[in-house]
């Protein structure tokens, strides 16, 4: 059994990764509450943004900060475009149908990614990974700090946005009851567009950070969405604060298992196991009931 | 005979059924009350979809609440829903046969039972047609056929006349009236059409806010002041004697 | 109409369900028989080994698609874990093959049964959730299985429980049935087995489980009220889908003799769902269309020099198209979609025919 000292660096990794999971989780939760769409292409969008960034940096003379901005913007624009084009036709359908739609988007993105960027070793090296702090024997990069801090900032910011701004209140109304919100004059399409754009920007940001913290690989980044999904599910797709804590815990569990060698081969299973727990948790409910409590 | 003792249902801060105690004896009983009174919730408890917080239901000397939901049909419970639930992909025959095959195992009696039920409700459509292609009237009749097939003991009819024109309601009333004699099941009828209730039901119970506020012969109950007030604004109904 | 009294015998207005096949059914049956005969006897001599392998794969994956077609189209359950079930089936078949000298058909049957049991075990937690969460939980379970397989690998003649050896000098590939060793014969074997699986599915759909599934798909409360043991029938559906998928896995192993973990990805499960939806879940034929999309199309694209990844993009677009244009949930309108698909395939077929003429 490794000593406490051995765990320390993984502690740092876990916190920063967990922060990014929480960040993504927030994007997933807010979008789901506002539109009923569980965006399973969240990771794929970030992955493609990161690959575009990489291409800009390594194959053009573009300024690297522009490239990073492109990644984040790509996330926002593609997600927004999907929401505008496929949101309305699927609006009245079951959440399952809406989620399968995002699987379609994920396939499109995965297809393009493996077409233009055949599997090869690539890496993303953010400038913030150059420097950092030294805590004891552990080196913490700025990227890792950003991962955690961004999560906290986004959670607080989104919470404040939802609570104190008009648009945020409209979004909460939409989440509560779409039909009534519409009759109350809430600009449904506009509010949804904001949710799509916001969640897309978060996807781009998460993609950028994860490409540095984990790997720049299309499939890996796409399926990292499962960890974020687990966090969102444990929060019952509702509470931002729970998403934050759940994300961080998931990141920690994921990382801290690595030094425990005997199960590290199965470490990759952690996100799946945690997401399964999240799904069972969110589905605790009573017996089948028919319709509303009416007559 | 069905005895309901102190039945209470609570969910989400609402108490749709509040200490309801009532007994239904043979024949056809009406169950009426304003919207939100708890009628469909009561049916859902009987079907097993809603678990009550407390109380008991004894039906023909069996503790109904301890039976698994899908087993109640085998025991003899049948139910129609407010929105018809006949399976659109299947034919008329298959829809009714399905009830029979999940509650009884003798295949030999099945065809006769199914055709008998279809004839009982007066279904004009061929038994091979897919329910999805039928008119609303015929779909509703298929549902009723599903409710009477296979020797049921307790039939719950949840607003069977909802949205039906007068002529079809009269036909439905005729069918329901023939149930006690031909099918022999205890029937509880929920509906807002008072003429249907008074023409089919010998006794009627009235719910309001989850509580029983009246029980007795239909004509008396429909004239009861408390009942009329509970409906708030509903004109006094002339009950057909 | 009877005014009272006991139900009498059937009247003229109520027709008994047709017991004798109608003219239409006979014609359809005849056409299918002719096509089957052509596929079995007429086709093999015309094709090279490469295309025979492709068509064998079409047969295999049509069966896998059939499993998902049943789950989605008949019961309304979306499972994103069928490729993992295929991997399990292939693993079990390979292990039995190396560890015993049982004849191939017995191995297949045993594989089907074992995979069915595994499918039920996977289905049990899945049944506590519904709709979207069911789909997600099957995806999670599939992901977990894929990861385990990545480290256990596939049996290749080695010892121990896992039967995998790193050394490349295994005891030869997975064997084929003694009656179907040649590629042509194996192709026929695969097609016959696939046809049997389709018949098995059809028998289910036309009888009691099929009716129960139709009820469950439309409304679970109504199904329960009709006396249907919903949990049992859902598990039955999972078991059947896993059974046929397991058998498909067994045939897959014998087809190439070797199995690689890269053949069974989580992405593959998503693509399977995409092609099953595109092929149409309203009819069992949709599964055959899905198999063609999944295995024939990549081979054709490969021939034309187009990137295989383009297909992934096409499938993504296809899913969205199906979801948006199909008015009732995931049920595809058969005439329209099959006709569109038919026209598309016809065009492909013509191209393929001219290509094959050149490939000889």
Write out chain B residues lying below 8 Å of C219, CB-based: 85
| Average pLDDT over every residue of B200-209 | 89
| Average pLDDT over every residue of A73-89 | 95
**C181 φ/ψ angles, rounded to the nearest 5 degrees:** -90, -40
Alpha carbon distance, N-terminus to C-terminus of chain A:
61
Compute the distance between CA of residue C342 and CA of residue C339 in angstroms, rounded to an integer: 5
**C177 φ/ψ angles, rounded to the nearest 5 degrees:** -65, 145
DSSP A3: -
pLDDT of residue C4: 40
pLDDT of residue C262: 87
Q: Which residue of chain A has the CA closest to C223?
A: A288
Does residue B45 sit in the same domain as residue B115?
A: no
**C208 φ/ψ angles, rounded to the nearest 5 degrees:** -50, -50
Out of B151, B175, B210, a domain closes at B151
Is the pLDDT confidence value at A197 over 90?
yes
**A101 φ/ψ angles, rounded to the nearest 5 degrees:** -60, -45
- Choose between B234 and B220: higher pLDDT: B220
Out of B151, B169, B194, a domain closes at B151
Mutation for C interface: B87, B104, B178, most C CBs within 10 A: B87
Write out chain B residues lying below 8 Å of A287, CB-based: 48-51, 69
pLDDT of residue C19: 54
C184-207 per-position pLDDT tens digit: 889 999 999 999 999 999 999 999
Does residue B106 sit in the same domain as residue B158?
A: no
Q: Do B101 and C208 touch (CB under 8 A)?
A: yes
| Average pLDDT over every residue of C124-146 | 87
Lowest mean per-residue pLDDT among A274-278, C160-164, C250-254, C289-293: C160-164
Does residue B57 sit in the same domain as residue B89?
A: no
Compute the distance between CA of residue B181 and CA of residue C221 in angstroms, rounded to an integer: 29
Q: Do C212 and B102 touch (CB under 8 A)?
A: yes
| Average pLDDT over every residue of A165-172 | 88
B17-31 per-position pLDDT tens digit: 888 899 888 889 999
- Choose between C126 and C299: higher pLDDT: C299
Does residue B160 sit in the same domain as residue B105?
A: no
Does residue B114 sit in the same domain as residue B4?
A: no
| Average pLDDT over every residue of A173-187 | 82
> Exposed e or buried b for every residue in A135-172, given b needs 16+ CB within 10 A?
eeeeebbbbbbbbbebbeebbeebbebbeeeeebebbb
Q: Do A287 and B39 touch (CB under 8 A)?
A: no
CA distances from C191 to B172, C37, C197, C348 (A): 53, 11, 10, 21
Contact pairs from chain B to chain C, CB under 8 Å: 102
CB atoms within 10 A of CB B82: 17
Beta sheet of B2-11, edge-to-edge order: B14-24, B2-11, B54-59, B62-63
pLDDT of residue A81: 96
| Average pLDDT over every residue of A167-176 | 85
| Average pLDDT over every residue of B231-241 | 52
Q: C143: closest CA among A271, B240, A73, B67?
A: A271
B150-173 per-position pLDDT tens digit: 889 999 999 998 888 888 889 999
Is the pLDDT confidence value at A171 over 90?
no
Tokens of B224: 């009861």
Where residue B217 sits, what CATH number does that domain have?
3.40.50.300
**A200 φ/ψ angles, rounded to the nearest 5 degrees:** -65, -40
Do the strands B14-24 and B2-11 form a parallel or antiparallel pair, or are they unpaired?
A: antiparallel
User: Is B82's Cβ below 8 Å from some Cβ in C?
Assistant: no
Q: C231: closest CA among C212, C206, C210?
A: C212
User: For residue C43, with 0-12 CB atoms within 10 Å meaning exposed, 13-18 middle and 19 or more buried, which class applies?
Assistant: middle
| pLDDT class of C360 with cuts at 50, 70, 90 | very low
Q: Which domain holds residue C209?
A: 48-264
| Average pLDDT over every residue of C202-220 | 92
Mean pLDDT of chain B: 86
| pLDDT class of A73 with cuts at 50, 70, 90 | very high
DSSP C293: I
User: Is A287's Cβ below 8 Å from some Cβ in B?
Assistant: yes
| Average pLDDT over every residue of C170-192 | 81
Q: Do C222 and B103 touch (CB under 8 A)?
A: no
Q: Which residue of chain B has the CA closest to C3?
A: B178
Q: In this structure, are residues C234 and A67 in contact, taking their beta carbons and an 8 Å threshold?
A: no
Determine what percent of chain A is predicted with pLDDT higher than 70: 94
CB atoms within 10 A of CB B23: 14
- Domain total in chain B: 2
- Domain total in chain C: 1
| Average pLDDT over every residue of A51-72 | 91
Write out chain B residues lying below 8 Å of C217, CB-based: 89
Does residue B60 sit in the same domain as residue B144?
A: no
Q: Which domain holds residue B142?
A: 84-151
Does residue B61 sit in the same domain as residue B91?
A: no
Mean pLDDT of chain C: 83
* Distance to chain A for B108, nearest Cα, Å: 34
Helix C309-325 and helix C266-279, axial crossing angle in degrees, nearest 10: 50
Write out chain B residues lying below 8 Å of C15, CB-based: 126-128
pLDDT of residue A158: 93
- Choose between C353 and C140: higher pLDDT: C140
Sign of the dihedral through C-alpha C215, C218, C222, C228: positive
By three-state DSSP, how is residue B122 classified?
Answer: coil
Q: Answer whether residue C355 is part of any domain.
A: no
β-partners of residue B91 are: B130
Q: Answer whether residue C251 is part of any domain.
A: yes
pLDDT of residue B214: 85
Lowest mean per-residue pLDDT among B10-19, B46-55, B86-95, B124-133: B124-133
* A229 alpha carbon, distance to own chain's centre: 7
Determine what percent of chain A is predicted with pLDDT higher than 90: 52
Q: In this structure, are residues A101 and C323 in contact, taking their beta carbons and an 8 Å threshold?
A: yes
| pLDDT class of C99 with cuts at 50, 70, 90 | confident
CA distances from A235 to A23, A202, C177, C334 (A): 13, 18, 53, 40
Compute the distance between CA of residue A181 and CA of residue C212 in angstroms, rounded to an integer: 39
Q: Do C218 and B48 touch (CB under 8 A)?
A: no
Q: Do B41 and A293 touch (CB under 8 A)?
A: yes
Q: What structural domains and CATH numbers belong to chain A? A: 4-118+133-282 (1.10.3470.10)
Is the pLDDT confidence value at C335 over 70?
no
User: Is A3's Cβ below 8 Å from some Cβ in B?
Assistant: no
pLDDT of residue C39: 82
pLDDT of residue B189: 93
C258-317 per-position pLDDT tens digit: 888 888 988 999 999 999 999 888 889 889 999 999 999 999 888 888 888 899 999 999
Does residue B17 sit in the same domain as residue B94?
A: no
| Average pLDDT over every residue of A250-262 | 80
The residues near C147 (Cβ < 8 Å, ≥ 6 apart) are: A266, A268, A269, A272
DSSP C226: T
Determine what percent of chain B is predicted with pLDDT higher than 70: 94
C53-73 per-position pLDDT tens digit: 999 999 999 999 999 999 999
Q: In this structure, are residues B156 and B46 in contact, taking their beta carbons and an 8 Å threshold?
A: yes
A14-48 per-position pLDDT tens digit: 999 999 999 999 999 999 999 999 999 999 999 99
User: Is B69's Cβ below 8 Å from some Cβ in C?
Assistant: yes
Write out chain B residues lying below 8 Å of C7, CB-based: 112, 115-117, 119-120, 182
| pLDDT class of C17 with cuts at 50, 70, 90 | low
User: Is B103's Cβ below 8 Å from some Cβ in C?
Assistant: yes
- CA C249, A226, A98 angle in degrees (round to 5)? 85
Q: In this structure, are residues C208 and B101 in contact, taking their beta carbons and an 8 Å threshold?
A: yes
Q: Do A106 and C129 touch (CB under 8 A)?
A: no
Q: Answer whether residue C215 is part of any domain.
A: yes
Determine what percent of chain B is predicted with pLDDT higher than 90: 21
By three-state DSSP, how is residue C16 classified?
Answer: coil
pLDDT of residue A101: 95
Compute the distance between CA of residue A187 and CA of residue A195 in angstroms, rounded to an integer: 12
| pLDDT class of A250 with cuts at 50, 70, 90 | very high
**From B50, B82, B159, residue closest to A287, measured CB to CB:** B50
Does residue B229 sit in the same domain as residue B132?
A: no
CA distances from C93 to B151, C71, C90, C99, C291 (A): 49, 23, 5, 10, 21
Q: C208: closest CA among C189, C174, C232?
A: C232
Mean pLDDT of chain A: 87
User: Is C360's Cβ below 8 Å from some Cβ in B?
Assistant: no
* Distance to chain B for C188, nearest Cα, Å: 35
Q: In this structure, are residues C223 and C93 in contact, taking their beta carbons and an 8 Å threshold?
A: no
Does residue B121 sit in the same domain as residue B226?
A: no
Q: Answer whether residue C78 is part of any domain.
A: yes
| Average pLDDT over every residue of C10-30 | 60
Does residue B7 sit in the same domain as residue B119?
A: no
Q: Do C5 and B89 touch (CB under 8 A)?
A: no
CA distances from B51 to B11, B35, B142, C128 (A): 10, 21, 29, 17
Q: In this structure, are residues A105 and A215 in contact, taking their beta carbons and an 8 Å threshold?
A: no
pLDDT of residue C122: 82
| Average pLDDT over every residue of A263-271 | 73
Residue holding tokens 């409906």? B231
User: Is C6's Cβ below 8 Å from some Cβ in B?
Assistant: yes
Q: A232: closest CA among A72, A47, A37, A49?
A: A37
User: Is B110's Cβ below 8 Å from some Cβ in C?
Assistant: no
Write out chain C residues lying below 8 Å of B122, CB-based: 1
Is the pLDDT confidence value at A267 over 80?
no
Out of B124, B151, B178, a domain closes at B151
Lowest mean per-residue pLDDT among A135-139, B179-183, C236-240: A135-139
Q: In this structure, are residues A184 and A173 in contact, taking their beta carbons and an 8 Å threshold?
A: yes
Sign of the dihedral through C-alpha A288, A243, C135, C235: negative
β-partners of residue B32 are: B206
Q: In this structure, are residues A85 and A37 in contact, taking their beta carbons and an 8 Å threshold?
A: no
**B107 φ/ψ angles, rounded to the nearest 5 degrees:** -70, -25
Does residue B71 sit in the same domain as residue B161?
A: yes
DSSP code per residue over C124-178 = HHHTTS-THHHHHHHHHHHHHHHHHHHHH---SS-STTT---SSS--S-S----T
**From B73, B89, B97, residue closest to C214, measured CB to CB:** B89
């Amino acid at each position: 059994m490794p000593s406490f000292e051995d765990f320390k660096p993984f502690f740092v990794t876990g916190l920063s990764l967990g922060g990014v999971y929480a960040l993504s989780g927030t994007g997933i939760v807010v979008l789901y509450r506002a539109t009923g769409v569980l965006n399973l292409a969240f990771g794929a969008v970030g992955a493609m943004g990161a690959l575009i960034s990489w291409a800009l940096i390594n194959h053009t003379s573009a300024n690297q900060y522009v490239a990073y901005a492109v990644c984040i913007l790509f996330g926002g624009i593609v997600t927004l475009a999907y929401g505008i084009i496929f949101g309305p036709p699927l609006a009245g359908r079951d959440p399952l149908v809406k989620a399968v739609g995002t699987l379609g988007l994920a396939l499109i993105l995965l297809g393009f990614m493996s077409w233009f960027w055949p599997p090869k070793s690539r890496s993303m090296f953010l400038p913030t990974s150059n420097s950092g702090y030294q805590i004891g024997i552990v080196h913490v990069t700025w990227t890792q700090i950003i991962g955690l801090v961004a999560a906290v900032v986004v959670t607080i910011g989104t919470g404040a946005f939802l609570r104190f701004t008009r648009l945020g209140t409209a979004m909460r109304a939409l989440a509560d009851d779409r039909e009534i919100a519409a009759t109350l004059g809430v600009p449904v399409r506009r509010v949804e567009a904001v949710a799509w754009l916001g969640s897309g920007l978060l996807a781009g940001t998460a993609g950028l950070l994860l490409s540095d913290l984990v790997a720049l690989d299309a499939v890996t980044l796409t399926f990292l969405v499962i960890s974020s999904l687990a966090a969102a599910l444990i929060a019952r797709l509702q509470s931002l604060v729970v998403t934050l804590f759940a994300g961080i815990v998931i990141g920690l569990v994921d990382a801290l298992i690595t030094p425990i060698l005997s199960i590290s081969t199965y470490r990759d299973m952690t996100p799946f196991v945690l997401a399964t727990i999240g799904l069972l948790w969110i589905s605790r409910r009573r017996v089948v009931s028919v319709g509303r409590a009416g007559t | 005979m069905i005895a309901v003792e102190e039945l209470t249902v609570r969910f989400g801060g609402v108490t749709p059924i509040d200490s309801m105690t009532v007994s239904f004896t043979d024949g056809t009983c009406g169950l009426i009350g304003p919207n939100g009174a708890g009628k469909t919730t009561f049916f859902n408890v009987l079907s097993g979809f809603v678990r009550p917080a407390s109380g008991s239901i004894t039906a023909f000397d069996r503790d109904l609440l301890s039976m698994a939901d899908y087993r109640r049909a085998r025991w003899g419970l049948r139910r129609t829903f407010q929105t018809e639930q006949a399976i659109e992909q299947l034919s008329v025959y298959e829809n009714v046969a399905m009830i029979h095959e999940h509650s009884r195992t003798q295949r030999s009696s099945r065809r006769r039972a199914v055709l008998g039920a279809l004839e009982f409700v007066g279904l004009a459509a061929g038994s091979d047609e897919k329910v999805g292609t039928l008119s609303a009237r015929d779909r509703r009749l298929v549902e009723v056929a599903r409710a009477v097939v296979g020797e049921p003991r307790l039939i719950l009819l949840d607003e069977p006349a909802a949205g039906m024109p007068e002529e079809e309601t009269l036909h439905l009333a005729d069918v329901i009236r023939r149930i006690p004699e031909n099918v022999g099941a205890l029937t509880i009828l929920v509906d807002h059409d008072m003429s249907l209730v008074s023409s089919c039901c010998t006794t009627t119970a009235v719910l309001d806010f989850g509580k029983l506020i009246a029980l007795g012969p239909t004509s008396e109950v429909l004239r009861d002041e408390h009942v009329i007030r509970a409906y708030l604004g509903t004109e006094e109904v002339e009950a057909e004697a | 109409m009877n005014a009272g009294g006991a139900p009498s015998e059937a009247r003229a207005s109520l027709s008994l369900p047709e017991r004798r096949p109608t003219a239409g059914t006979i014609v359809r049956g005849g056409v299918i028989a002719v096509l089957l005969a052509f596929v079995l006897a007429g086709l093999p001599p015309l094709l090279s080994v490469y295309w025979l392998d492709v068509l064998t794969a079409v047969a295999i994956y049509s069966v896998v698609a059939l499993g998902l077609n049943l789950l989605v189209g008949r019961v309304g359950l979306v499972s994103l874990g069928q490729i993992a079930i295929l991997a399990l089936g292939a693993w079990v078949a390979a292990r039995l093959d190396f560890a015993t000298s049982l004849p191939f058909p017995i191995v297949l049957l045993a594989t089907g049964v074992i995979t069915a049991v595994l499918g039920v075990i996977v289905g049990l937690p899945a049944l506590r959730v519904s709709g979207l969460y069911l789909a997600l939980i099957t995806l999670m379970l599939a992901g977990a299985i894929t990861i385990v397989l990545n480290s256990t690998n596939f049996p290749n003649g080695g010892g121990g429980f896992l039967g995998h050896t790193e050394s490349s000098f295994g005891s030869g590939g997975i064997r084929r049935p003694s009656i179907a060793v040649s590629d042509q014969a194996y192709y026929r074997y695969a097609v016959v087995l696939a046809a049997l699986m389709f018949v098995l599915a059809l028998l289910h759909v036309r009888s009691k489980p099929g009716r129960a599934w139709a009820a469950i798909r439309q409304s679970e409360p109504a199904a329960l009220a009709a006396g249907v043991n919903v949990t049992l029938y859902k598990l039955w559906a999972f078991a059947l889908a896993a059974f046929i998928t397991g058998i498909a896995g067994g045939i897959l192993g014998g087809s190439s003799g070797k199995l690689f973990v890269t053949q069974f990805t989580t992405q593959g499960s998503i693509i399977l769902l995409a092609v099953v939806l595109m092929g149409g879940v309203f009819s069992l034929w949709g599964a055959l269309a899905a198999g063609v999309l999944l295995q024939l199309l990549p081979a054709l694209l490969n021939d034309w020099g187009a990137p295989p990844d383009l297909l992934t993009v096409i499938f993504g677009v296809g899913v969205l198209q199906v979801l948006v244009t199909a008015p009732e949930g995931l049920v595809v309108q058969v005439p329209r979609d099959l006709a569109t698909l038919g026209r598309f395939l016809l065009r492909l077929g013509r191209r393929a025919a001219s290509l094959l003429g050149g490939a000889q």
